[in-house]
Amino acid sequence: MAAVGRHPVMEGRFCHRRAELVYDDAGEGPLAVYAHGGLVSQAVEDRMGLFDWVPVLDGGRRLVRYDARGHGRSTGEPVDTDYTYSSLADDLLGLLGHLGATEPVDAMGASMGCGTVLHAAVRAPDRFSRLVLLIPPTAWSTRQAYARANRASADIIEREGMDAWLAARRKQPRPAVVADVPAFPPTPAERVLPSLLRGLALSDLPPLSAIATLRRPALILAWADDPGHPLSTAETLAHSLPHADLCVARTRADIRTWGDRIAEHLARRRPGSRPGHRQHIA
């Protein structure tokens, strides 16, 4: 049996819309769910060593992290629309139903997972208590260039194979804040990857008018100098969400504080008691 810190991890599975989704369940207390970024998985993120979940579990939370459709241990079909943020939000809401969540839950998501969480929260705000939005992705005005690149990548994979795409990808510079983090191959299978990329190309964060209606306390954790996760998205979210704190990491040491920051955010009492509070930490 795996463990996170002193907390044993149990594996669970549930079927939803032509896929079997696999999740890790650890700890006891109020439920918090986490959705990872695109192309990786829970196991890969753990091997990358970026995010520390021990403070969340030690803070008295039950933490469920799942492999998104088509990623890691979860299955998926080569259907473009299965991988839009809106469709992935369906999976997250399905997971909450499978887990029997009757009270609002804390929801956390990184990059693609951030889009998943925001779409789910806009659609069903009463299902959520607090939000943690890690490395928000390109959105709105910056999304078009990302979408074009994703469609081109899907074409390359279908025309030349995944190895050719990976070779080109390795030549691209990485953000300095994570330059020393080990790189791993994508977890989606080659038959699914083009559809995943096209699904993400079809995606965007919800309209700002919808985001402004989310009165749940939100912690936004961003890092600097990453065109795929520009600070403009994080800053726009911080200004649009009624109750948001923004923290910007510029070094790996800054990122290592995120586990404690998340645990502190989830432990705060009286959600929504500090309207308009925002904090930008460099």
Q: How do residues 130-189 score in pLDDT, each as one tens digit?
A: 999 999 999 999 999 999 999 999 999 999 999 999 999 988 888 999 999 988 999 999
Kindly indicate the confidence band of residue 120, based on its pLDDT and cuts at 50, 70 and 90.
Answer: very high
Q: Indicate whether 183 belongs to any domain.
A: yes
Q: Which long-range contacts (CB under 8 A, 24 or more apart) does 43-52 make?
A: 43/72, 44/72, 44/184, 44/187, 45/110, 47/182, 47/184, 48/181, 48/182, 48/184, 49/181, 50/178, 50/181, 50/255, 51/110, 51/134, 51/255, 51/258, 51/259, 52/256, 52/258, 52/259
Separation CA 202–CA 229 (nearest Å): 17
Provide, rounded to the nearest whole percent, the portion of the chain with pLDDT above 70: 95
Average pLDDT (233-254) is 96
Structure confidence at residue 273 as a pLDDT band (50, 70, 90): very low
Kindly tell me the sign of the dihedral angle through the C-alpha atoms of 258, 263, 268, 271: positive
Mean pLDDT of 204-209: 98
Q: Could you give the dihedral angle defined by the CA atoms of residues 48, 50, 54 and 59, in that order, rounded to the nearest 10 degrees? A: -150
157 in any annotated domain: yes
Share of the chain above pLDDT 90, in %: 88
Sheet strands (E) in the chain: 3-4, 7-16, 19-26, 31-35, 62-66, 105-110, 128-134, 218-223, 244-249, 280-281
Residue 279 has what pLDDT? 53
What is the reported pLDDT for 281?
Answer: 52
The mean pLDDT value for 12-27 works out to 97
What is the Cα–Cα distance from 85 to 117, expressed in whole angstroms? 9
Domain count within the chain: 1
Specify whether the CB–CB gap between 229 and 111 falls below 8 A: yes
| Residue 27: domain span | 8-281
> How high is the pLDDT of residue 3?
83
| pLDDT of 11 strictly over 70 | yes
Higher pLDDT, 270 or 192: 192
Domain-located, residue 276: yes
Q: What is the mean pLDDT of residues 252-267?
A: 96
Q: Looking at the predicted structure, is the pLDDT value of residue 101 above 70?
A: yes
pLDDT for 272 beyond 50:
no
2 within a domain of the structure (yes/no): no
The confidence score (pLDDT) of residue 278 equals 52
- For residue 173, the model assigns a pLDDT of 87
Residue 194 belongs to some domain of the structure: yes
Task: Give me 5's structure tokens.
Answer: 């810190």
> Is 1 inside any structural domain?
no
Average pLDDT for residues 244-257, to the nearest whole number? 95
Q: Is residue 198 part of a domain?
A: yes
**pLDDT band for position 2 (50/70/90)?**
confident
3 belongs to a structural domain? no
- The reported pTM is 0.95
CB of 203 closer than 8 Å to CB of 136: no
Q: In whole numbers, what is the pLDDT of the chain averaged over residues?
A: 94
Residue 207's CATH number:
3.40.50.1820
Average pLDDT on 92-102 reads 97
What integer is the mean pLDDT of 15-32?
A: 97
The per-residue pLDDT for 277 is: 46
pLDDT at 207: 98
Calculate mean pLDDT across residues 18-28.
97
Q: What is the pLDDT of residue 5?
A: 87
- Measured CA to CA, the distance from residue 260 to residue 53 in angstroms comes to 9
